[in-house]
Amino acid sequence: MKGKATKNPIFAFTTWIRRQPPKMKAFLATISGMAALLFLRMVVEDHNNLFVAAEAVHALGTFVLIYKLTKEKACAGLSLKSQELTAIFLAVRLYCSFVMEYDIHTLLDTATLGTTLWIIYMIRFKLRSTYMHDKDNLGIHYVVIPCAVLSLFIHPTTSHLLFNRICWAFCVYLEAISVLPQLRLMQNIQIIEPFTAHYVFALGVARFFSCAHWIIQVFDTRGLSLTALGYGLWPCFVLLSEIVQTSILADFCYYYVKNILGGQLVVRFPSGVV
Q: How much is the pLDDT for 149?
A: 96
**pLDDT tens track for 46-79:** 666 777 778 778 888 888 888 889 988 989 889 9
- Whether the CB-CB separation of 267 and 197 falls below 8 Å is answered with yes
pTM of the model: 0.80
**Nearest-angstrom CA–CA distance, 58 and 236:** 24
Q: Ramachandran region of residue 264, left (φ > 0), alpha (ψ -120 to 50) or beta?
A: beta
**pLDDT tens track for 214-247:** 777 777 666 555 555 666 788 788 878 878 878 8
**Nearest-angstrom CA–CA distance, 267 and 189:** 11
**Nearest-angstrom CA–CA distance, 49 and 149:** 33
Beta strands in 98-249 (DSSP E): 191-192
